[in-house]
Every structure is written in C-alpha cells, then in structure tokens.
Copies of this chain bind each other. A is one copy, B any other.
Amino acid sequence: MAQAKIRLFVEHGLGPGNSVPVGRDQANYLFNVMRLGVGDHVALFNGTDGEWLCEAVDTGKRRGMLKCVSQSRPLQMPPNLWLLFAPIKKARTDFIVEKATELGASRIIPIVTDFTNSERIRQDRLQAHAVEAAEQCGGTFVPEVAELTKLSLLLDAWPSERHLMFCDEARVGPAETLNGCTKGPWAVLIGPEGGFSDPERERLMALPQTTAISLGPRILRADTAAVAALTLWQATLGDWV
C-alpha cells in the first residue's frame, strides 16, 4: 500500500472517496514547499474519523484538492483525562501543551491560581501547538485547549465523578498513590512555579475527589511535573496498562 510521509490535521470530514479541499497555507506547504504532485499521498486526520491515506488530485499553490483513498489508522481516543496547569514562560507553556498531546490528555485547561504569574495566553496558538504535536506523534485525536480559567471557578463546579490528581510540591505529610484508585474520568493538576496558596491547598484537600500525589524528593519545574504526572497516571490508570 502507498505510504504517506506527511501527516496533516484538517477540519473536514474523511471517508471513502471524500474530496478534501485544502486552503492556502496547507496548499503552499504541500505543493510548494514539499513539492507534492498529482497522485502523491498525504495522511489526513481530523480528530474524529481516524487517519486516511489521501491522494492529491489538484495541486494549486493557493488551493488544492485531496481525495480519500482508504483509512490507514482508526480513531484512537485518549482516556478521559484533563490536564490543568498554570501557564509559565511561553516556551515552557508550549512545551506542556505539546507533551500533554503526546502523552494522551483529552482536554488541556490553562488555569489562573493565586500565585500564577503569567495571566495571559494565546489560546489559538496553544491549540495550534496541540494540532502540530498530534501531526508529529502519529495521533488521530487533538485535545481541546480551553481558554484560561480561574482554578476557583473550576472547583466551584467540579464534576462529582471526576477524580483529581493533585501534584503539590510543597505538601507535608505522606503522599497517596494512584495504585488502587478508580479508573474513569480524572484530571491532573499542576501548580505554578510558586506553588499553591494555603487556601487553595485547603480547598483542594477538602474535595472528596482529590488524591494528593508526590513526584519524588526533588523539586520539579512545572513542565517536568506535568510530564511526570501524566506518565504516572497513564501507566497506572490510563491506556499504557
């Protein structure tokens, strides 16, 4: 079977014989930069229909057309896992979104905490990072990056069935473990570099959904903590087991 070296995310239905128009940016990339010609193959995915091997049928440099040949990979949904994190420096925030996509988070929620420094994000840019990470890592699903939300508002309406893995670097006392925890909807919560405030910590610990987890005896940066926590969750309760 023909192989595609290029994988692209599109916002268009994919199915047997479907025609998929490509707009200016992707046409430029495919037919100008990568010099694909009519009959060449591309892998497309849209987050819902799996990955499809597609063939170029019109290769204009401003717009083109691809045609679905066959499904090359079924849709692989990640577990029902949210990542909540407080945005930090730009490069490290981008990194967290990239890694959460690779590691199989289903929804990424940037949060404002009492000690969050960076109070602005570009949601569209972060969403584009998630798309790019899925394109690179062979994923068929792209997690939604939510708008920046206050942690306190999220907790006001926290779903009763969603467990919370609370990674608190400054926590005193014995840590809990994920072993033996219930599978199902979860969220991983990573604090800002300055940690959580005492009121936040008290509120989180009072939630019955909370499991407080230790990430070892060394202080981790927030981006490292995000990757480590997602790894532990996936290896214990997620789709790595």
Taking Cβ atoms with an 8 Å cutoff, the residues of A that contact B are 76, 95, 99, 102-104, 136-139, 214-221, 224, 227-228, 231-232, 234-235, 238-240
Contact = CB atoms under 8 A, between A and B. Distances in A.
Residue of A104, A224, A238 with highest tally of chain B CB at under 10 A: A224
Contacts of A103: 216, 218, 220, 224, 228
Contact of A102 (B224, B234, B235): B224
A108 to B, nearest CB: 15
A226 to B, nearest CB: 10
Q: What copy number does this chain have within its complex?
A: 2
30 contacts: A76-B218, A95-B95, A99-B224, A99-B227, A102-B219, A102-B221, A103-B218, A103-B220, A103-B224, A104-B218, A136-B221, A137-B219, A137-B220, A138-B218, A138-B219, A139-B218, A214-B240, A215-B240, A216-B234, A216-B235, A216-B239, A217-B239, A217-B240, A224-B227, A227-B227, A227-B231, A228-B231, A231-B231, A231-B232, A235-B235
Residue of A95, A139, A235 with highest tally of chain B CB at under 10 A: A235
Contacts of A104: 216-218
Contacts of A137: 218-221
Contacts of A240: 214-217
Contacts of A138: 218-219
